[in-house]
Chain A
Amino acid sequence: MSDLPLIQADRAVPPPAATTSTGGRGRRLRLLSRTDRVVITLMVLVPLLLVVGLIWLPAVATVLLSGTNWDGIGPVSEIDWVGLKNYDDVVNIYPPFVPAVQNNLLWLAALFVVATPFGMFLAVLLDKEIRGSRFYQTALYLPVVLSLALIGFVWQLIYSRDQGLLNAVLGTQTDWYGDSNVNIWAVLFAAGWRHVGYIMLLYLAGLKGVDPSLREAAAVDGSSETSTFFRVVFPVMRPINIIVLVVTVIESLRAFDLVWVINKGRNGLELLSALVTSNVVGEASRIGFGSALATIMLVVSLVFITLYLATVMREDRR
């Protein structure tokens, strides 16, 4: 609910800002005509209403609904406040919850421990201005332009039990997407395939931004290429590292498309995002219960979003 006062406060912003801010900027603001002020207000207000109305208010509503027993059918007046009961149910009597959390964590671990370092390693290699670098880069980030839903289909051609390449080559009969013991790994491989290219791209940009004199100084001091990277280059890329960390966490939390096109996130492919969706759009419309699941996602993501904002805003002030 903290969003509402902001909208109102915003309308009143120009005059107080003009008096409180100091120096040239204050004078400049006072010079603004009435039309200019209206224009500025509209320029901020219209997009703000859209973002607050379609994102922030629903986020608050999700949290509020998670404390109710609303089934989505009866009138709002019949909603009962049930406190933390939904959370209790989610954790204790909802069988897919634990596998979903495990899979989300597995997703995070796979992207963070395998795909991200590999993407960074490739970026370091490609940063060395070698011939054909353009070709290598293009090949690596090509999957990034494909949607994750499409990636599900592309990999089906490799994973399919009867017509897939993998079984044809290995002579096995595994249903890579269907077998609940292996399908999460098959999906993670496909997700990692796309993630590596993205991370490589981010680090390539980060490495270009590192002051070359730092490396020269380290080389003069007799530091090897590897130790220069870990002791000098990597720490300097701190903002990029944090952005990559946040992107990875958020991507693993939001992971959805891939498992949804395969089997709607069932039978071994449970994810929090898929559970929320099937609780709302599917047969059972359990609003309060689904909201409790959604709130868990929201809280985890907000922790990392705050970290992200703190990083980029600090960069901003420099």
Chain B
Amino acid sequence: MTATLTRTPPATAPDRPRRPVRPARVVLHLFLGAVAVGWLFPILWALLTSLRSYDYTARNGYVSLGGWTLDNYVTAWKTAEFGKHFLNSVYITVPAVLLTLFLASCVAFVIARFSWKLNIVLLGLFTAANLLPQQALLIPLFRLFTQVPLPAWMSDSELLYDSYWGLILVNVAFQCGFCVFVLSNYMKALPHELYEAAMVDGASVWRQYWQVTMPLCRPALAALATLEVTWIYNEFFWATVLMRTGDKFPVTSSLNNLRGEFFTDNNLVSAGSVLVAIPTLVIFFVLQKQFVRGLTLGASKG
């Protein structure tokens, strides 16, 4: 091994002149490869389990090969009524993400565009709100939601409690802070001359926001949208405590009901888990760059 390694650099030199193969690199790759495989393993294991029949694994143990089937997916889809729950997630996630981005960009625009004394207080109020532990606000919110009436056409519970509206509102309120923080940083970096030109042209504040600022923020908005879709889709706590009717649960919170139905059949649990993971995994693989950029935009100015 060492002999080949010491002999290789001259041979590969024309291809990659600056990088001779060093033992340290090999160790590095072995280490990172092992960690990466270890990290993927639980997910791959869930996938593998979901593709095998319960009878086969019960007879031969899980550490075996064979019994391949897609039946778990069919059964899981039917028993857990995934179609309905996915639709519930869409009803909550899509309006919540659009509303969050719209409201947050409004506040961020004002913070970035005008310098008032209260800007820093505003930014603090929004950013801190995103970091508070949700459970600490549960008691008053729970009481509030059970007191606020809604017309029957909006919610069949006739309350904010146990309605999609309530979940949308609480998600928007919580996620606004992060988006205000990221967007205001992004907007502050836009050149000031743009607004001076817009003012000379007589553009109103609303046009400066909608037609000048928003188009320029597209990269940040795309990154935030990706991140918020995964976060709100993954949201578990509020849906668990502010919903009562099992039929209305979004898919992440409905998971908890599934376990009762599936209780001893891990092959079904894994098929259910894979089904729930699919939307976020698709988003992740298609929009990976956006997802990562969104996360790091919050940590350092991008």
Q: Which residues of A contact B (CB under 8 A)?
A: 3, 6, 9-10, 13-14, 17, 20-21, 25, 28-29, 31-33, 35-36, 39-40, 43-44, 46-48, 50-59, 61-62, 65, 72, 122, 125-126, 128, 130-132, 135-136, 138-150, 153-158, 160, 162-165, 168-169, 193, 196-198, 201-202, 204-206, 209, 239-240, 243, 246, 250, 253-254, 256-257, 260-261, 272-273, 276-277, 280-281, 287, 290-291, 294-295, 297-298, 301-302, 304-305, 308-309, 312-313, 315-316
Asked if residues A58 and B144 are in contact (CB atoms below 8 Å), the reply is: yes
Among A169, A301, A312, the most chain B Cβ lie within 10 Å of the Cβ of A312
Cβ contacts A to B, 14 pairs, < 8 Å: A21-B117, A57-B140, A59-B137, A125-B32, A156-B266, A156-B269, A157-B273, A165-B62, A202-B296, A204-B296, A206-B299, A240-B299, A281-B138, A297-B136
- In the bound complex, residues from chain A placing their C-beta under 8 Å from that of B31 are 125
Q: Quick check: A281 and B142 within 8 Å, CB to CB?
A: yes
Instruction: Let me know if A168 and B63 touch, CB within 8 A.
Output: yes
Q: Kindly state the separation between the CA atoms of A136 and B49 in the bound complex, as whole angstroms.
A: 24
Binary flags per residue of B142-179, CB closer than 8 Å to A gives 1, else 0: 11100000000000000000000000011011101100
Interface of B is mostly: helix
Given A158-B45, A256-B135, decide whether A145 and B103 contact each other with a Cβ distance below 8 A.
no
Closest chain-B Cβ to A113's Cβ sits at a distance in Å of 18
Q: Which of B2-10, B216-224, B252-260 contacts A (4 or more CB under 8 A)?
A: B252-260
Q: How many A-B contacts are there with CB distance less than 8 Å?
A: 311
With both beta carbons as reference points, the residue of chain B lying nearest to A169 in the complex is identified as B63
**C-alpha gap A140/B46 in the complex (Å):** 17
Q: Check B43 for interface membership: any CB of A closer than 8 A.
A: yes
A272 to chain B: which residues have CB within 8 Å? 135
B115 near A301: Cβ-Cβ < 8 Å: no
Instruction: Give the distance to chain B from A48, nearest Cβ to Cβ, in Å.
Output: 7
Contact call A47/B255, Cβ cutoff below 8 A: no
Q: Which residue of B lies closest to A148 (CB)?
A: B236
Minimum C-beta distance from A169 to chain B (A): 7
Taken together as a complex, chains A and B put the C-alpha atoms of A61 and B135 apart, in Å, by: 13
- Contact with A160, one of B132, B133, B266 (Cβ below 8 angstroms): B266
Minimum Cβ distance to chain B for residue A4 (Å): 12
Bound: A131/B19 CA distance, A: 11
Does any Cβ of A come within 8 Å of B225's Cβ? no
| Interface segment out of the listed B67-75, B78-86, B198-206 | B198-206
Is the pair B299, A62 in contact by a Cβ cutoff of 8 Å? no
B93 touches A (CB below 8 Å):
no
Taking each of B123, B139, B253, which has the highest tally of chain A beta carbons within 10 Å of its own beta carbon?
B139
Q: Which one, A196, A301, A315, contacts B132 given CB within 8 A?
A: A301
Q: Which residue of B lies closest to A201 (CB)?
A: B295
